[in-house]
Amino acid sequence: MRALVVDSLAPDYAGCAIREFETPIPGSGDVRVRVRAASVNFPDLLMTRGDYQHKPPLPFIPGLEMAGEVEALGEGVTAFAIGDPVVGAARIGGFSEFAVTPAAALRRKPETLSFAEAASVGAAYLTAYVALVRRARVEPGEWVLVHGAAGGVGLACVDLAKILGCRVIAASASDEKLAVVQAAYAPDAAVNVSGGFRERVKEITGGRGADVIYDPVGGDVFDESTRCIAFDGRLLIVGFTSGRIPTLSVNMPLIKGFSVMGVRAGEYGRQFPEKGRENIDAVWGLAAAGRLKPRVHAELPLSDWRAAFDLLADRKVIGKAVIRPDL
């Protein structure tokens, strides 16, 4: 089989290459999946240079989530049959023609979604769900400001917040991206953050500020967000795609009465396993009901993995870039 392999940790993906391997044999409790689609996430990019908290031993095949068809079953696996369409996590291994993963990490692909769409749901929507439902405990009618609204985790938050009955402000530095978000997801308002956004957010919310702010960007965006959050608001820290990890003087949340909350969806599930299972079931229940709208920006063959990575790194994606090994 062909797979993208990280042989060494280096900037600009210098340690990555397509290589040929023997097709892996699933062990006890494992499933071999013929990969039809694997979405590209920022952790995938970070892992190629060793900048992510999970550091698998070299060499490894990246690709954290994928969708495909069951191709072989390991001993003891009874939940699936050969040919079943499945979706799930591949801690490593999604950017390959075949991936081996524990059966427990898979579930049946909803008929409502294509393989590419299904591969785009897990990490993004689970992050949004944990952020909005578990951490912020949003209520219908609350104002939710979503930064990076055109990216994978941002767009999932826009979609889910609308489903939960919130009033959504989509924020991005691109009018072109915001136009796509508005047409596809109908947020209640859209704000270009390039020239500052706090006064516009206050205007939209009647002077109160946003009840919940979802921030995968960090840097200057975080700094200004503390100036337009409502009293008793919740500022959700999702990531730092801007490249700068901001700091906060604690007199700000003291005076303005807001909370700063970290969001790590996977760790939340590890700390609270029962709630973690409930979170995953809730997300995929919405998907199976046809309520989620994951947006696939581009589908590229495995040979064009670098172009797929660059789409994400260069902020050109509206939604998700997906690698298709079967193309």
Instruction: Kindly report, residue by residue over 273-320, the tens digit of the pLDDT.
Output: 999 999 999 999 999 999 999 999 999 999 999 999 999 999 899 999
For residues 180 and 303, membership in a common domain is answered with no
> Residue 248 sits in a domain of what CATH number?
3.40.50.720
Cβ pair 243, 222 in contact under 8 A? no
CB atoms within 10 A of CB 196: 14
For residues 169 and 226, membership in a common domain is answered with yes
For residues 111 and 137, membership in a common domain is answered with no
Which helix (H) or strand (E) covers residue 323, if one does? strand 320-324
Q: How many domains does the chain have?
A: 2
For residues 145 and 210, membership in a common domain is answered with yes
The bridge status of strand 30-39 relative to strand 65-73 is: antiparallel
For residues 176 and 209, membership in a common domain is answered with yes
Q: What letter would DSSP give residue 13?
A: G
CB atoms within 10 A of CB 80: 18
> How many residues comprise the chain?
327
Per-residue model confidence as pLDDT tens digits over 73-122: 999 999 999 999 999 988 668 999 999 999 999 999 999 999 999 999 99
For residues 106 and 128, membership in a common domain is answered with no
Total-model pTM: 0.94
For 10-20, b/e burial (b = at least 16 CB within 10 A) is: eeebebbeeee
Range of the domain at 188: 124-267
Share of the chain above pLDDT 70, in %: 99
Residue 145 lies in a domain: yes
* Per-residue 3-state assignment (H helix, E strand, C coil) for 249-312: CCHHHHHHCCEEEECCHHHHHHHCHHHHHHHHHHHHHHHHCCCCCCCEEEEEEHHHHHHHHHHH
Residue 229 lies in a domain: yes
The closest alpha carbon to 318, from 147, 180, 117, 124, belongs to 180
Q: How far apart are CA 130 and CA 16, in angstroms?
A: 32
For residues 116 and 133, membership in a common domain is answered with no
Burial class of residue 251, CB neighbours in 10 A (0-12, 13-18, 19+) = exposed
> Residue 20 sits in a domain of what CATH number?
3.90.180.10
Q: Quickly tell me which residue has 């591969």 as its tokens.
A: 119
